[in-house]
Structures are given as structure tokens and as C-alpha cells.
Structure 1
């Protein structure tokens, strides 16, 4: 993949994520509990929804980030029930890569296993915030494979933000923006994402304790 073109695409994705982060209008809350709020609004990228999650995770930003950072052999596939495997297909720079994520079946196997090929950029901001910024790409090393439906992530990612005066807590804001593809009832998709995102926060909190206490 052309590194210059990939860098331009990924920076555009990062700008979109910042807009999602700052734009407070049009979001409808669909799930709240245990300190986590999940909301949604219609996507402008595909005929589906953009979901936003927000919650505070007990643990320093370094510890939380260590559990989620996109790396081969990282912790994510050990604790995230929606990640069966994660692999780096191509490293373009120190902060930009092409990855493939495989997910298990879900929703009582109504949703069959998926795989996603993404361009992923890691950004660090002056206030200490770290973000992941991703969108789907095609890569010659990753043709569709048997047993998996190829899904597509539209501009999505996470922000990991330090809390002033609280070094042992981290605000985590997630944007899920996924076309699962295949022939799925919309009601299944609409119920899956809010539940899955709430589970992400609960499992991330457990992972921080498990791997860093």
C-alpha cells in the first residue's frame, strides 16, 4: 500500500473522529448503566448507525492503553470477547499500519464470524490523549477467506483521555461505525452494538485489573 496515500487517508479519518468527539448534537442515548453511556445517530457513510460510547475506566492512561493498543500479540485478543484474533498485515510507519481483525459469531450465532481489514493510525495529542483512528481498506494479502463474512469499518476509533487531577482514571470514548454486511435483520444489528459496547467497557475494566494490578 502506498504510504503517502495511506497517511492522507488516515489523517482524514482522524479529523472525522475529532469532529465526532466535539459534536454533541443529534445523539440519542440507547443504553446507560455502570457509568457507561452509549448513544447513536444515523451514519452519513452507509445505511446504518454511528455509535458513541463513553465511560471512565479505573487505571492510568498508560495501563488502559496497554490493554487496547493495536499490536501483534497484544492484550486485546486476550480479553475482548469480540476479538478472536488481531494481526498486523503491514507496518507503514511507527504509528500507521494495516490490520486484520477476526470476530467470533455473536447474538446466539445469528451473526456469523466476521473479518475486517483496516488502516489504523495512532495519534497522540498535547494534553496526553491517545487516539486510534481506523477505516476499511483493501489489501492484496487479505482476500476474503472461507468461514468469514467480510465486514467494513467506516471511520471509527477510540479516545483515551487523562483526567486532570485523577492520574488513576481514564476517560474512554469509543466510536463504532461498522457495516457487518451479510443478510442480518436490522433489529439484530441495532440490539447487538449497544450491548457489545457496554461489554467492551466492563471487560476493559477487568483487563486493566487483571494485567496491571
Structure 2
């Protein structure tokens, strides 16, 4: 796995890229979905011919527990309705690994099940945490799946200054689903998936 010969360099590059996304000014984003609990924006990606999505909402729990539910580990499969399998392929440190996961079909299976192999890295950010990832070219795609590709993506989770038992969760996602898909289907799926992600996560944290 050539790109992982220097795990530290890859982690630093990924971290810096996400911090750069987090500093993009508000007027660069366009709202594509808004509920009472979460807002989703998007802007053209600089990585591929698609969009960088931003999602933000308040989650009623501490940052460590929120990120424990998001990053690779036993919690994720228990609550993420889109993810169907997840295996840690290589573990470098407690906060750094390669994972392979599959997702369910979407929009009445217009978007067929996908497979991803991602490098994942979790680190401190301000008073909270950042969990980020990027896809790798690794191994053969499983039968009946399309291999998707996540360009740099991640989740910032920081405590609210006036309520430390609540966290502000901000995600940046830019996924190339690949395959022959209408762009309108991709856009609908991404906005809805991000909104559902917050809903499912909140339910899991109440358990």
C-alpha cells in the first residue's frame, strides 16, 4: 500500500485539509437542506467534479462519546443505517487505521450498494476532536458492489461553551459514488443521508 508508507505524513496532510475546509467563509456555501436539527450546505469541490458538503447541528452529548460513535469501531455499525459492514483492515495506532466498509443501496436502489476503503485518523481539535478520512486504492472490489471514493472528509466535534454536555458537530463530506448515476440522484441522496446521519446518531446516543 504505497500511499501508507508514511502514515504520519498522510495524517498530517488530511488534518490540514480538513482545517482548511473548516475555515471556508460562510458566503461560499449554499444551503441545500435544513431541518430543525441540522443544516446542510454545499459548494463545488476542488478535488473532483462534484460537491463538498457541509453539515452542522448540535448533539446532546460530550465530544468524546460523539466521536466514539462516528470513528471506526464497534459503535458505528450499531446505529448507522446506511453502513452494512465494516472491517478494520490495518491498525497503526489507537487513533489511526484503514477500514473497509459497505453501504446499502439508496433511492430504491437507483444508487446500488457501494464499497469504500478509507484511511481514518482521529485527533484533538481545540477542546474537542476531529475524526477524518480519505479513500485509498486498496485490494479488489467485492462482487455486487461499486467501489466509491471519499475525497478528504471529516467531523469536527467541540463542546458548546455555555453547555459542555452538548457538542457542535460539523461534517465535511465529498464522496464520488462513481458508476453511471444522474447528478440529481447523487445530490438528493447526499443531502438526505447527512440529515439522517444526525437523526440516527442522536437516537444512538440516547441509549
Aligned ranges for residues 111-122 of structure 1 at < 5 Å?
A: 111-122=111-122
Aligned ranges for residues 88-99 of structure 1 at < 5 Å?
A: 88-99=88-99
Match of 2:76 in 1: 76
Match of 1:151 in 2: 148
Q: Say yes or no: does 1:39 pair with 2:41.
A: yes
Q: CA deviation at 1:145?
A: 1.1
Aligned ranges for residues 2-81 of structure 1 at < 5 Å?
A: 4-24=5-25, 25-71=27-73, 74-81=74-81
Q: Say yes or no: does 1:163 pair with 2:160.
A: yes
Q: CA deviation at 1:4?
A: 4.7
| Whole-Å separation in 1 of the counterparts to 2:93 and 2:63 | 23
Match of 2:135 in 1: 136
Structure 1 residues 98-153: Cα deviation after superposition (integer angstroms, max 9, x where no partner): 1111101111110111000011111113x3221111111123xx311101100000
Structure 1 residues 160-188: Cα deviation after superposition (integer angstroms, max 9, x where no partner): 11111312201100111100000001110
Q: CA deviation at 1:68?
A: 1.7
Match of 1:197 in 2: 194
| Whole-Å separation in 1 of the counterparts to 2:151 and 2:11 | 12
Match of 2:184 in 1: 187
- Unpaired segments ≥5 residues, structure 1: none
- Unpaired segments ≥5 residues, structure 2: none
Q: CA deviation at 1:22?
A: 1.2
Structure 1 residues 47-90: Cα deviation after superposition (integer angstroms, max 9, x where no partner): 1100000000111223322322212xx11111111111111100
| Whole-Å separation in 2 of the counterparts to 1:49 and 1:65 | 24
| Whole-Å separation in 2 of the counterparts to 1:165 and 1:27 | 27
Q: Say yes or no: does 1:86 pair with 2:86.
A: yes
The TM-score normalised by the length of structure 1 is: 0.91
User: Runs in 1 of length 4+ with deviation above 6 angstroms?
Assistant: none
Aligned ranges for residues 90-109 of structure 1 at < 5 Å?
A: 90-109=90-109
